[in-house]
Amino acid sequence: MTDKPLAIGDLVDSRCSKCKEVTNHVIASMVDGEIAKVTCNICESTHKYRPPAPPKEPKAPKEPKTPRARKSTTVKTAAAAKKEAVPSPELEEWRSLCANTENAELLPYGMGEKFKEHDLINHKTFGIGIVKQTIGVNKIRVLFESGLKLLRCDNSQ
> Is residue 110 in some structural domain?
yes
Question: How far apart, in whole angstroms, are the C-alpha atoms of residue 47 and residue 12?
Answer: 13
Q: Is the pLDDT of residue 84 over 70?
A: no
Query: What would the pLDDT profile of 34-46 be if each residue is shown by its tens digit?
Result: 888 888 888 888 8
In a domain, 157, yes or no: no
Domain span including residue 30: 11-48
How many domains, in total, are found in the chain? 2
Max Cα-Cα span within the chain: 106
17 within domain boundaries: yes
Give a yes or no: residue 72 inside a domain: no
In terms of pTM, does the model score above 0.75?
no
Handedness of CA 126, 131, 132, 135 (dihedral sign): positive
pLDDT for 87: 65
- Say which residues have a Cβ less than 8 Å from residue 41's Cβ, sequence separation at least 6: 11, 23, 24, 25, 26
Mean pLDDT in residue range 73-89: 62
Residue 146: inside a domain, yes or no? yes
- Does a structural domain hold residue 137? yes
Of the listed ranges 14-18, 70-74, 143-147, the one predicted with least confidence: 70-74
With respect to residue 56, please indicate whether it lies within any of the assigned structural domains. no
Confidence band for 72, pLDDT divided at 50, 70 and 90:
low
Residue 100 lies in a domain: yes
